[in-house]
């Protein structure tokens, strides 16, 4: 069968041969045994409903084995034989170009060079899934290959519920992930529902088909690192940034450090992930001996090198060793997946990677105890460095939240509303006031042709648009504009592409709309192929996350999720090709609601109209909420937006004289 025929077939009518377990692939750790005997029977019934009854007798023992061995039913037998990668849009079968663009993005999320655990359909973060099993993938791709622009596919936590009649202005796909009743949002609730096959953790851009590899976070990390050094009034050359995590999103850190121009030390316990990042040239060197690492950092400091050094081992050992050697750390953070602390997101110190994975599955209570001991030790080592002048910030991975739950010394001696921890969130100090309040966030695009030359042309178009906008930009956003122009000019030489031909750029509503409009015109003229627009959920409007995206909201509303829900509803009727809304993502199940979108630009007048309507709303929804919280930058930005668009009328806050409150 051809690739197109396999896509259109969906779940095969004959059982494919069993596939051997590929040990060369980075696999998800075994999940803990959380289901009762009765629930395991239910999980099997749930899995088997995808298949004709004549196959049940053969599949039931196989699925039972998967459930017992891995804690999940992945249906490995049904993993496709074709190469998993984003193909040029014209290679996908179908009746809708919009549907083809979604198939392209789904396959990009599962590309072996992109996905963290591709055989388990997990893109990043240890549990950020595109689908729960391979039957869901096969059925979804079949639906997309059959759908027209008069239908919408509804996705329930990876399960394609079906194609429903709609109209050409409606989204082609509406995605929900993990949208459980609030009282059932504890980690063990997720473990149970995911094992049953009824819910999944979509992370942010995993379950919304918009992940573009580590590049997706490189730009934001670069901005964060640059501004962290600006904050401590030190140049990046010769400066030391210490952090951890090389899988998925966190793998962007060493590349961002190189772009910023500092010395980066990033610890990682997983040998496979470390090897992959080194082969992809996202890290320069790998070290396994702490003494050698210390000597290498000292040399780099003396020579003011720009270099990224991976340490294959636990980050706690690095913090403690650097303290013993009195090696000064300028800025520090952590980007392990602490939203997922008990299932592979964070590993205990003093225990091998293999031993820890075994303990995680076989003795989860002891594993949790060891993780919390490590968090306390981790925080203690950080406190020693901050006592010497290190600037440490939480990188939105729930490090401070989980450390506080473990009893670590991370709470402020003088807490105020929104500032409970002794260390700030990077959004509180950097990204919130400098970027999100002004409407700047991670706009991204994918060249659906798959051609590198199209990506180069889009880089040139985006740069020209930004340089033109900057000529008349107010002084309040000149730094942001210049940082983005510098970024896009260096994008090609930094070799950021992994998987699809994609780019990310921090832009405000004006920048996003004008860049997208210029792309659409170029497509119409035949200068480039179709473009898929999107963004990270980690943005101005899409996410309500009290310890990350909305951590610089101080009016008491940071635990509400109106903004994210309004955002995805608004995007859906203003022209998005697909929309998504998730529980969880980045900081943990039950800790955040986040939404995203995708939009196909095909050079048409319809696309031009939609992009202007949707992108304007997608940004200004968040600015208005931030303005109502009395954030100065957002008040400035929303007033400016109202001057540009007469139809925008936003309620502005009146500021109370602080003396009246005494």
268 is in an annotated binding site: yes
Identify the domain boundary among 170, 196, 222.
196
Length of the chain: 662
CA distance 102 to 96: 10
* pLDDT value for 216: 75
Torsion of CA 470, 473, 477, 482, to 10 degrees: 10
Per DSSP, what are the bridge partners of residue 180? none
Q: Are residues 157 and 240 in the same domain?
A: no
Q: Which of 97, 90, 102 is nearest to 168 (CA)?
A: 97
* 442 belongs to a structural domain: yes
* pLDDT value for 187: 85
Q: Do 109 and 115 form a contact (C-beta atoms < 8 A)?
A: yes
Q: Do 533 and 518 form a contact (C-beta atoms < 8 A)?
A: no
5 is in an annotated binding site: no
**Helix residue ranges, H only, 269-350:** 271-279, 290-303, 315-324
Nearby residues of 163 by Cβ (< 8 Å), 6 or more positions away = 143, 146, 147, 151, 152, 153
Q: Which residues of 541-576 are buried (b: 16+ CB within 10 A; e: fewer)?
A: bbbbbbbbbbbbbbeebbeebebbebbbebbbebbb
586 is in an annotated binding site: yes
Q: Are residues 436 and 416 in the same domain?
A: no
Residue 407 lies in domain: 214-420
CA distance 542 to 536: 8
Q: Are residues 237 and 368 in the same domain?
A: yes
* 203 belongs to a structural domain: no
* pLDDT value for 32: 86
Q: Are residues 366 and 497 in the same domain?
A: no
* 208 belongs to a structural domain: no
Q: Are residues 503 and 366 in the same domain?
A: no
Give the CATH number for residue 84. Answer: 3.40.1770.10
603 is in an annotated binding site: no
Q: Are residues 273 and 143 in the same domain?
A: no
CA distance 252 to 211: 13
Nearby residues of 263 by Cβ (< 8 Å), 6 or more positions away = 238, 239, 240, 241, 257, 297, 300, 301, 305, 306, 307, 308, 309
* 657 belongs to a structural domain: no
Q: Is the dihedral of CA 406, 409, 411, 414 positive or negative?
A: positive
CA distance 129 to 654: 43
* 395 belongs to a structural domain: yes
pTM above 0.75, yes or no: yes
Give the CATH number for residue 290. Answer: 3.40.50.10730
* 656 belongs to a structural domain: no
Q: Are residues 264 and 148 in the same domain?
A: no
Q: Which of 527, 435, 512, 523 is nearest to 469 (CA)?
A: 512
* 257 belongs to a structural domain: yes
Residues of the chain with pLDDT under 50: none
Q: Are residues 253 and 334 in the same domain?
A: yes
Q: Do 288 and 353 form a contact (C-beta atoms < 8 A)?
A: no
Q: Are residues 396 and 442 in the same domain?
A: no
CA distance 519 to 534: 13
CA distance 288 to 313: 7
Q: Which of 349, 314, 341 is nearest to 398 (CA)?
A: 341
* pLDDT value for 250: 67
Q: Are residues 91 and 27 in the same domain?
A: yes
* 425 belongs to a structural domain: no
Torsion of CA 645, 537, 629, 429, to 10 degrees: -120
Q: Are residues 144 and 268 in the same domain?
A: no
> What is the total count of domains within the chain?
3
Q: Are residues 77 and 27 in the same domain?
A: yes
* pLDDT value for 398: 84
Residue 245's region, left for phi above 0, alpha for psi from -120 to 50, else beta, is left
Q: Is the dihedral of CA 129, 130, 131, 133 positive or negative?
A: negative
Q: Which residues of 494-518 are buried (b: 16+ CB within 10 A; e: fewer)?
A: bebbbbbbbbbbbbbbbbbbbbbbb
Taking only the tens place, the pLDDT of each residue in 593-646 is 999 999 999 999 999 999 999 999 999 999 999 999 999 999 999 999 999 999
248 is in an annotated binding site: no
The secondary structure of 475-517 as a DSSP string is: GGGHHHHHHHHHHHHHTTTTT---SSSEEEEEE-HHHHHHHHH
* pLDDT value for 317: 98
547 is in an annotated binding site: no
Per DSSP, what are the bridge partners of residue 597? 579
Neighbours of 4 (CB within 10 A): 13
């Amino acid at each position: 069968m051809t690739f197109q025929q396999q896509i259109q077939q969906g779940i095969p009518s004959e059982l494919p041969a069993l596939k051997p377990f590929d040990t060369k692939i980075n696999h998800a750790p075994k999940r803990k045994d959380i289901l009762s005997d009765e629930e395991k029977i239910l999980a099997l019934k749930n899995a088997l409903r995808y298949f004709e009854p004549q196959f049940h007798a053969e599949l039931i023992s196989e699925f039972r084995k998967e459930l017992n061995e891995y804690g999940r039913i992945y249906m490995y037998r049904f993993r496709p034989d074709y190469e998993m990668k984003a193909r040029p849009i014209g290679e996908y079968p179908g009746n809708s170009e919009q549907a083809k663009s979604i198939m392209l993005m789904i396959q990009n999320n599962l590309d072996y060079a992109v996905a963290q655990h591709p055989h388990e359909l997990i893109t990043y973060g240890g549990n950020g899934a595109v689908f729960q099993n391979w039957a869901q993938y096969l059925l979804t791709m079949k639906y997309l290959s059959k759908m027209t622009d008069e239908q919408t596919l509804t996705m329930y936590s990876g399960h394609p519920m079906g194609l429903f009649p709609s109209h050409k202005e409606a989204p082609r796909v509406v995605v929900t992930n993990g949208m459980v009743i609030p009282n059932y949002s504890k980690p063990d609730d997720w473990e149970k529902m995911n094992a049953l096959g009824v819910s999944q953790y979509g992370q942010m851009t995993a379950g919304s088909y918009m992940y573009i590899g580590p590049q997706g976070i490189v730009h934001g990390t670069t901005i964060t690192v640059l501004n962290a050094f600006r904050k401590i009034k030190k140049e990046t050359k010769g400066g030391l940034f210490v952090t951890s995590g090389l899988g998925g999103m966190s793998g962007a850190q060493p590349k961002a450090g190189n772009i910023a121009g500092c010395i980066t030390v990033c610890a990682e316990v997983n040998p496979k992930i470390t090897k992959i990042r080194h082969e992809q040239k996202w890290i320069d060197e790998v070290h396994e001996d702490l003494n050698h690492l210390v000597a290498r950092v000292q040399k780099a400091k003396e020579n003011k090198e720009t270099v990224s050094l991976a340490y294959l081992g636990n980050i706690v050992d690095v913090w403690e060793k650097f303290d013993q050697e009195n090696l000064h750390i300028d800025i520090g953070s952590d980007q392990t997946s602490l939203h997922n602390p008990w299932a592979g997101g964070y590993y205990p110190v003093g225990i091998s990677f293999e031993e820890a994975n075994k303990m995680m599955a076989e003795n989860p209570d002891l594993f949790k105890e060891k993780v919390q001991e490590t968090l306390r030790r981790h925080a203690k080592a950080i406190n020693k460095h901050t006592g010497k002048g290190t600037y440490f910030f939480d990188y939105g991975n729930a490090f401070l939240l989980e450390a506080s739950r473990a009893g670590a010394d991370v709470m402020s001696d003088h807490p105020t509303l929104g500032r409970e921890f002794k260390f700030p969130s990077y959004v509180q100090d950097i990204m919130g006031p400098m970027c999100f309040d002004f409407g700047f966030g991670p706009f991204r695009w994918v060249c659906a042709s798959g051609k590198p030359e199209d990506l180069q042309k889009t880089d040139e178009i985006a740069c020209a648009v930004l340089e033109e906008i900057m000529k008349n930009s107010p002084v309040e956003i000149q730094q942001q504009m210049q940082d983005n122009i510098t970024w896009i000019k260096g994008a090609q030489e930094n070799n950021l592409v992994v998987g699809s031909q994609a780019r990310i750029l921090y832009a405000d509503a004006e920048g996003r709309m004008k860049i997208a409009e210029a792309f659409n015109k170029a497509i119409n003229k035949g200068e480039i192929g179709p473009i898929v627009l999107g963004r990270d959920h980690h943005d101005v409007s899409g996410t309500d996350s009290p310890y990350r995206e909305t951590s610089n909201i101080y009016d008491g509303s940071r635990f509400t999720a109106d903004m994210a829900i309004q955002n995805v509803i608004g995007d859906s009727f203003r022209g998005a090709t697909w929309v998504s809304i998730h529980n969880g993502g980045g900081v943990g199940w039950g800790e955040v609601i986040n939404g995203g979108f995708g939009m196909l630009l095909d050079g048409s007048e319809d696309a031009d109209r939609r992009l202007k309507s949707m992108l304007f709303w997608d940004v200004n929804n968040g600015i208005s909420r931030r303005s109502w919280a009395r954030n100065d930058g957002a008040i400035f930005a929303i007033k400016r937006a109202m001057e540009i668009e007469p139809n925008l009328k936003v309620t502005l806050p009146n500021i109370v004289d602080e003396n009246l409150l005494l």
